[in-house]
Amino acid sequence: MNTMRTSKIAKSLAGAGLLLALLGAGCTSSTTTNTTTTTTPTNENTDVVANENANENTNAAVAEVDPTAMPLDFPNSTLEAEFGDYVLAPTRAALDEAATAGVENGTFIYYMAEVAEVGDTASVLTEINEEVTIPNGVIVPIPAGQTAAVGDTVLTWWQSGSGITRAYVVEGGTPTKPMVNYLDTGILGASEPEELDADSFVVITDPWQAGASIGVKNGSDYDHYQVLKVSGDQVLVSGFASSLEVVSKADAVTMPIKPVVAVGDAVSVPFIGTYTDGTVTAVDDVNGTVDVEVEWAGDKEVDTYAYGDVILSSEL
């Protein structure tokens, strides 16, 4: 702008002496009428161009993601579900990010969605108000028409919050709308029971069923995982910090859905993601929990653990 403004002034000045005087006064960006000027890009302009290019590259990468592709090496499959059924699945955004940043860097919280269309290898789900395509191999179906009784553990989602969770059925509900205490919301025993909607849960009866806990051998330790799907010897699991991984059945130990333990028993529980030895201090069969004293860094603490996460130390 200074160059253009000074050049126009220069054309209207009478005499070279006056022009030189003006230049000497500070109009140093002036040029003669016949000189072509070039403006050097500023850092700000460079940053804008770089950001635009980065956004274009990111958008192009997302656009190239195959929405039917599995995010890791686990068999895709058909989906046993019908239009309108509830399912649990990672978001489309999480899968897109994994395709560009790597599944090992992703966070895959399983949320509730509704089936809009069932496909051979991928299905259309309604996430809130948006329809998205998700590969069937990562979708956990929740069959409609399920019933539950007091003392059952069910797979559902936190219906006053969000995200996949197990729940323990307590008194106060009906078989189709059970009253439950959530087991995986991080507030175990600190919230009031909640009634589940009809068709929003499935009873966990098999230790390899979606929602069940397993311990997977890692050197001399066992890490805690939650089963999502099983295909042959491969198990799709949710791990620490909602990682999505595939483990071998041969390396895993299933947890009893309803442990038979008593005060004083030596048990193993998932402490910071790894099974750790402790001692039972209380068993609450009404709410489906076990209090266990664990020693950590020289200190002892008592924490509450869900049924399904506790195993006798002798069995691990």
pLDDT of residue 41: 46
Q: Is residue 198 part of a domain?
A: yes
If one counts every other C-beta atom within 10 angstroms of the C-beta of residue 300, the result is 10
Asked whether the predicted pLDDT for residue 292 surpasses 50, the reply is yes
Q: How many domains does the chain fold into? A: 3
Which of 1-10, 66-75, 162-171, 292-301 is least confident? 1-10
Q: Are residues 127 and 170 in the same domain?
A: no
Average the pLDDT over 285-299 and give the result.
95
Asked whether the predicted pLDDT for residue 97 surpasses 60, the reply is yes
pLDDT of residue 189: 73
Half-sphere exposure of 52 (CA within 13 A, CB side): 6
Give the separation between CA 71 and CA 133, rounded to whole angstroms.
Answer: 13
Q: Indicate which CATH number applies to the domain containing 121.
A: 2.30.30
Query: pLDDT tens digits for 39-61?
Result: 444 444 444 444 454 444 444 44
Asked whether the predicted pLDDT for residue 235 surpasses 90, the reply is yes
Phi, psi of 78 (to 5 degrees): -80, 165
User: Are the C-beta atoms of residues 182 and 191 closer than 8 Å to each other?
Assistant: yes
Q: Is residue 115 part of a domain?
A: yes
Nearest partner of 288 among 176, 89, 149, judged by Cα: 149
State which residues form the domain around 197.
Answer: 152-203
Q: Are residues 125 and 163 in the same domain?
A: no
Q: Is residue 52 part of a domain?
A: no
For the chain, give the mean pLDDT: 85
For 253, counting Cβ atoms within 10 Å of its Cβ (0-12 exposed, 13-18 middle, 19+ buried), the class is middle
Nearest partner of 251 among 226, 227, 215, judged by Cα: 215
If DSSP states are collapsed to H, E and C, what string results for 171-205? CCCCCCCCEEEECCCCCCCCCCCEECCCCCCEECC
Q: Is residue 292 part of a domain?
A: yes
Q: Is residue 303 part of a domain?
A: yes
Q: Is residue 222 part of a domain?
A: no
Asked whether the predicted pLDDT for residue 261 surpasses 70, the reply is yes
How would residue 198 be classed by pLDDT, with cut points 50, 70 and 90?
Answer: very high
If one counts every other C-beta atom within 10 angstroms of the C-beta of residue 96, the result is 19
Q: Is residue 188 part of a domain?
A: yes
Q: Are residues 137 and 167 in the same domain?
A: no
Q: Is residue 121 part of a domain?
A: yes
